[in-house]
């Protein structure tokens, strides 16, 4: 039996599917967060160099990874929407942007909290910090452009083009910032995670999975709202039980 | 289409935009005055110690160039958009990318080139050594066209939007960071006794990349904004 993958590329069918999936993703994310943070804070030993401060990586590392990965996913959906003219892809890209920006912000915030005790400064112009900050700017630009165009179709396509241009630029920005940094000053501390304790690794991977599932759940919820908003004049929306009541 | 006619088109667009700019000279001058003003504000803000100013000079000049090129980007397409010329240009049988490239070139000549010519004078205010000044000029010559070209994408995307100017800077400035880094890096390399060739080569590479891709991307952006 051939599976019709395109069935769920229509907002009509995807709305229902997303509604069914959200509780599962949300629940498993919550469980994994509890487990991962328990292992991270109670089971994993203190680091011999950084003491207890290192524990922030259980939030910091997953959010940095996701902030970068979500940008690529967003640009991918944007490209899909631009090439195949599928409405849902553009809605997904729009739905991902705030979550990506949130993760970028959390990553910077927790990085600053970690930097104060470890480096003695809230902020250093390290290559990774700087490129994360620029990534946040790129997210904000995407959101701002989408928000300031009234016509949803033009907003989708314009911000999609911006996301693609941004994703082409991300490696250029990353390497330029890296070279700029080595030119000015070396990294203050190199954090080599080659010999991480097993419990630390486990906790980090579990919280990473939790953040992942959280992102999916939130994006699906947001995409459902976007579908409701965009398609409010169609009959299938007015016939939905939650809209009727 | 013959090759010569493509070039003719390019020359035609550049000449037209230059004539239009010469009719409204105040716009060109405003950008230049803004550049000079921003640069002159820095010594007032951080103090007149020559050692510090000499160190900061390249960065200050580059950031000011970046900001003042943002200032004039809004005008790149807006006048043609408002009077309907842009629509006619898009209906024309010639390649829109080529037209856009012509507009970018004209924009650079009007807003980028004056900054490059003005920069040595301002550099002397900061007591920059002659060698560093030379590298700064070469860097600006290579870098300011990139600012115009990348900026054109933003200008096309924000065409006709409310609050377009601020939004434009928000979109374009992060994308211009590599240009800033390599441009100031070249000057820094020379003043620490290293060769600036690597930085300038990277700037050149960015310029070539921008030349190939940005006209096409801008044309797509214009199509999105005009439909």
Of A41 and A95, more confident = A95
Write the burial class of residue A245 (CB in 10 Å: 0-12 exposed, 13-18 middle, 19+ buried): exposed
Give me the sign of the Cα torsion angle A162, A167, A172, A173.
positive
Tokens of B83: 């009077």
Please state the φ and ψ torsions of residue A231, each to the nearest 5 degrees: -105, 20
Comparing CA positions, the residue from A193, A198, A209 lying closest to residue A34 is A209
Which chain A residues touch B183 with a CB distance below 8 Å?
A: none
* A145: contact with B, CB 8 A cutoff: yes
Please state the φ and ψ torsions of residue A51, each to the nearest 5 degrees: 65, -135
Instruction: Give the DSSP H or E segment for B123.
Output: helix B113-125
Tokens of A42: 């109670």
* A122: contact with B, CB 8 A cutoff: no
What pLDDT does residue B216 have?
A: 94
* Contact assessment for residue B191 and residue B126, using Cβ atoms and an 8 Å cutoff: no
CA distance A199 to A216: 26
What pLDDT does residue B147 have?
A: 93
Give me the sign of the Cα torsion angle A36, A42, A46, A52.
positive
Each as own residue / partner, the long-range contacts of residues A15-21 (CB below 8 Å, 24 or more positions apart, any chain) are: A15/A224, A15/A227, A15/A228, A18/A220, A18/A221, A18/A223, A18/A224, A19/A224, A21/A220
Of A154, A158, A176, the CB nearest to B178: A176
ipTM of this predicted structure: 0.85
Comparing CA positions, the residue from A210, A52, A189 lying closest to residue A128 is A189
What pLDDT does residue A3 have?
A: 63
Please give the share of chain A, as a percent, with pLDDT higher than 70: 89
* Contact assessment for residue A55 and residue A203, using Cβ atoms and an 8 Å cutoff: no
Best mutation target among A81, A151, A163, A165 (most B Cβ atoms within 10 Å) is A165
* A104: contact with B, CB 8 A cutoff: no
Question: Which residues of chain B have a pLDDT value below 50?
Answer: 1
| Residue owning tokens 């900001």 | B67
Tokens of A111: 């990085």
| Residue owning tokens 């709202």 | A225
What pLDDT does residue A181 have?
A: 67
Distance from CA of B25 to the nearest CA of A (A): 31
Residue A44 in this model has a pLDDT that exceeds 50: yes
| Contact residues for B163 (Cβ-Cβ < 8 A; gap 6+) | A148
* Contact assessment for residue A220 and residue A21, using Cβ atoms and an 8 Å cutoff: yes
| Subunit contact B177:A134, Cβ cutoff 8 A | yes
Chain mean pLDDT for chain A: 83
Neighbours of A167 (CB within 10 A): 17
CA distance B58 to A78: 38
Neighbours of B163 (CB within 10 A): 11
**pLDDT-derived band at A7, boundaries 50, 70, 90:** confident
CA distance B45 to B36: 15
Size of interface A-B (CB pairs under 8 A): 69
* Contact assessment for residue B206 and residue B146, using Cβ atoms and an 8 Å cutoff: yes
**pLDDT-derived band at A45, boundaries 50, 70, 90:** confident
Give me the sign of the Cα torsion angle A110, A116, A121, A127.
negative
* Contact assessment for residue B97 and residue B4, using Cβ atoms and an 8 Å cutoff: no
What pLDDT does residue A70 have?
A: 93
Distance from CA of B177 to the nearest CA of A (A): 7
> Alpha carbon A241 to chain centroid distance?
31
CA distance B112 to A137: 25
* B175: contact with A, CB 8 A cutoff: yes
Which chain B residues touch A152 with a CB distance below 8 Å?
A: none
Q: How many helices (H) and strands (E) does chain A have?
A: 8, 0
Q: pLDDT digit string (tens) for A178-232?
A: 777 665 544 444 455 455 677 778 888 899 999 999 999 999 999 999 988 888 8
* Contact assessment for residue A77 and residue A92, using Cβ atoms and an 8 Å cutoff: yes
SS3 call for A239 = coil
What pLDDT does residue A2 have?
A: 59
Q: pLDDT digit string (tens) for A70-126?
A: 999 999 999 999 888 888 899 999 999 999 999 999 999 988 888 888 777 788 777
* Contact assessment for residue A81 and residue A90, using Cβ atoms and an 8 Å cutoff: yes
What pLDDT does residue B204 have?
A: 94
> Alpha carbon B162 to chain centroid distance?
23
CA distance A118 to A42: 21
Comparing CA positions, the residue from A133, A107, A111 lying closest to residue A211 is A107
What's the mean pLDDT in A129-141? 89
DSSP state of B135: H
| Subunit contact A173:B177, Cβ cutoff 8 A | yes
| Subunit contact A158:B221, Cβ cutoff 8 A | yes
């Amino acid at each position: 039996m051939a599976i019709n993958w395109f069935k769920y590329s229509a907002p009509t069918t995807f709305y229902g599917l997303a509604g069914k999936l959200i509780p599962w993703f949300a629940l498993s994310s919550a469980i994994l967060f509890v487990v991962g943070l328990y292992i991270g804070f109670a089971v994993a030993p203190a680091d011999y160099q950084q003491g207890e401060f290192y524990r922030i990586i259980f939030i910091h590392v997953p959010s940095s990874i996701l902030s970068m990965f979500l940008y690529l996913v967003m640009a991918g959906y944007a490209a899909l929407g631009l090439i195949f003219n599928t409405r849902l892809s553009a809605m997904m890209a729009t739905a991902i942007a705030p979550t990506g920006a949130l993760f970028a912000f959390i990553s910077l915030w927790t990085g600053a909290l970690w930097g104060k005790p470890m480096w003695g400064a809230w902020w250093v112009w390290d290559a990774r910090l700087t490129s994360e900050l620029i990534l946040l700017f790129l997210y904000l630009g995407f959101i701002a452009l989408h928000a300031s165009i009234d016509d949803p179709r033009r907003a989708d396509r314009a911000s999609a083009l911006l996301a693609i241009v941004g994703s082409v630029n991300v490696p250029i920005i990353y390497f330029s910032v890296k070279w700029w940094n080595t030119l000015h000053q070396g990294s203050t501390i190199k954090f080599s995670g080659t010999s991480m304790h097993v419990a630390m690794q486990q906790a980090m991977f579990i919280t990473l999975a939790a953040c992942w599932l959280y992102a999916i759940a939130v994006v699906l919820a947001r995409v459902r709202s976007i579908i409701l908003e965009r398609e409010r004049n169609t009959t299938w929306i007015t016939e939905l039980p939650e809209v009727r009541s | 289409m013959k090759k010569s006619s493509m070039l003719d088109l390019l020359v035609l667009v550049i000449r037209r935009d230059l004539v239009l700019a010469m009719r409204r000279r105040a716009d060109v001058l405003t950008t230049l005055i803004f550049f000079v003003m921003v640069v002159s504000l820095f010594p007032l803000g951080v103090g007149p110690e020559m050692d510090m100013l000499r160190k900061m000079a390249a960065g200050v000049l580059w950031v000011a160039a970046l900001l003042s090129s943002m200032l004039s980007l809004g005008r790149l397409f807006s006048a043609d958009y408002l009077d309907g010329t842009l629509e006619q240009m898009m209906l024309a049988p010639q390649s829109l990318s080529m037209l856009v490239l012509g507009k970018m070139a004209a924009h650079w000549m009007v807003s980028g080139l004056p900054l490059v010519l003005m920069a040595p004078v301002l550099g002397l205010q900061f007591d920059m050594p002659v060698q560093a000044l030379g590298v700064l000029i070469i860097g600006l010559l290579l870098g300011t066209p990139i600012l115009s070209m990348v900026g054109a994408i933003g200008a096309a995307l924000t065409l006709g939007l409310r609050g377009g100017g601020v939004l434009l800077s928000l979109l374009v400035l992060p994308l211009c960071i590599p240009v800033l880094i390599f441009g100031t890096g070249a000057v820094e390399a020379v003043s620490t006794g290293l060769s600036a060739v690597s930085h300038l080569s990277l700037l050149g590479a960015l310029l070539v990349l921008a030349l190939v891709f940005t006209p096409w991307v801008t044309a797509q952006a214009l199509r999105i904004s005009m439909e």
